């Protein structure tokens, strides 16, 4: 079946200011495992693991390994609803794990502060969730040296 798949190669990814991105020190499977462990250690729920590689394969395309990890916890939903129910559209949070053409593995997530600070009363929750997201990225990437 793979001989019938159309190979799709990723372009060089941009680094938009509304995303956080790191290059993992681990391989693809190791990165996924570490992130899932980190989600569990933060007492969050892994709500869904989406496999774009499998979905595209079903559509006739062949891509490098890719996953989306959707995570959250009801205790944060309750706080979000109490502050501004309109912000429910911003959850669950998501990590995107991509193997790049050079074999490296990147992990991205949307800027949680930017997402939630648009709503009144969300600043403290935004800071808390942004810190959790930053720890998840740090669990798979080397520390950044101070400038």
- In this structure, are strands 61-62 and 6-7 parallel, antiparallel, or unpaired? parallel
Taking only the tens place, the pLDDT of each residue in 52-107 is: 999 999 999 999 999 999 999 999 999 999 999 999 999 999 999 999 999 999 99
Taking only the tens place, the pLDDT of each residue in 10-33 is: 777 778 888 899 999 999 999 999
CB 116 within 8 Å of CB 127: no
Taking only the tens place, the pLDDT of each residue in 111-130 is: 999 999 999 999 999 999 99
């Amino acid at each position: 079946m793979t001989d019938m798949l159309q190979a799709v190669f990723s372009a060089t990814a941009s680094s938009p200011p509304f995303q956080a991105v790191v290059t993992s020190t681990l391989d693809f499977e190791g990165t996924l495992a570490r992130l899932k462990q980190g989600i569990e250690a933060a007492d969050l729920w892994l709500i869904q693991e989406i496999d774009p590689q499998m979905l595209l394969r079903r559509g006739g395309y062949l891509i490098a390994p890719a996953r989306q990890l959707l995570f959250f916890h009801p205790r944060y939903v309750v706080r979000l609803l109490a502050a501004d129910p309109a912000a429910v559209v911003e959850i669950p949070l998501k990590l995107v794990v991509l193997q790049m053409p050079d074999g490296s593995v990147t992990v991205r997530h949307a800027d949680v502060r930017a997402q939630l600070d648009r709503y009144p009363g969300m600043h403290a929750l935004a800071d808390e969730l942004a810190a959790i997201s930053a720890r998840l990225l740090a669990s798979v990437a080397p520390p950044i040296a101070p400038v």
